[in-house]
Amino acid sequence: MSPQAASKPDRCSYIGGSDARTIMSTDEAALVRLWQEKRGEAEPEDLSGNLLVQFGCATEDLNRRWFEGNTGHALGGLQRFVRHPRHEWMGATLDGFVEAQAAVYEAKFMLPWSFSEEAAADKHMAQLQHNMLVTGSKRAYLSILTGGAKWVLIEVEADPVYQTVLLQVERIFWRCVQQGEVPRPFGVEAPRAKVPAVRVVDMSLSNTWAEYASVFAQTREAHGRHESAKAELKGLVPEDAREAFGHGVRAKRSKAGAISFELMSNGGSHALGL
């Protein structure tokens, strides 16, 4: 079901999705500034000169069309403002809403250097979980365009544990706004929300992958023979033997009955763990 739209009020009257990220962060200066803005003691930051933000605004339409074209999901509710049904101080302005799935849609522009899907999901998780809380949605789509001509889609499920932490921290912050108490970073590390593993990745260009893939291929047969030999040796240890040895290999039985093997070399030994 589509969330009920509401007339968009002054930003000082509610906590929005973009605010959630600041509230969950450890940046005290940003948190205090947000508090001042919500109390009407400071003007909202002017982002007209922030090129990255303006890239995001300029590519919103392209991002939306790319998402719809590649997923087949129609978007509605563009820039719709929604209030939480019970907590009047929680609101969200949605980039879009997938009506057929009752899923939140969020569009972002990110720079390509050092880009990773995990970092992107972590960066925007508070906003996504906040927007799902407000709308009662169980799913969110994070659609990302990068300056490297790459489109990335991350699907995020509503996380009850994360949302419980988020709701509590936002409630404390809003109380500070109402009572005039200066907030401090809450020192709460949000649980890592689960992101479904849905990608198929070509690692051909990774030199590190190539190095270890070669080692894996070269040692696979030897590893198989090693495991097979351990199993055969284990079967040869008499049931009443606490220890057995010979030809440079020693077997030891633990009190629990587990058998481990070690090499006997130059009077010493190296554990091999079975």
Residue 133: which of 161, 109, 172 has the closest Cα? 161
The whole-angstrom separation of Cα 114 and Cα 168 is: 32
Mean pLDDT of the chain: 88
Beta bridge partner(s), residue 150: 146
Q: Could you tell me the two tokens for 177? A: 């706004």
Average pLDDT score over residue span 260-271: 69
pLDDT of residue 198: 57
Residue 80: the pLDDT is 94
Distance CA 160, CA 65 (A): 31
Contact 269, 250 (CB under 8 A): yes
The residue ranges of every structural domain in the chain are 11-179, 207-271
Distance (Å, rounded) from C-alpha 114 to C-alpha 106? 21
The CA distance from 161 to 188, in Å, is 13
Residues 30 and 52: their CA atoms lie apart, in Å, by 18
Any residues with CB less than 8 A from the CB of 200 and at least 6 apart, and which?
none
Render pLDDT for 13-49 as a digit per residue (tens, 0 to 9). 999 999 999 999 999 999 999 999 999 999 988 888 8
Residue 141 has pLDDT above 70, yes or no: yes
| Domain 11-179, CATH class in plain words | alpha beta
> What does the block give as tokens for 69?
């074209």
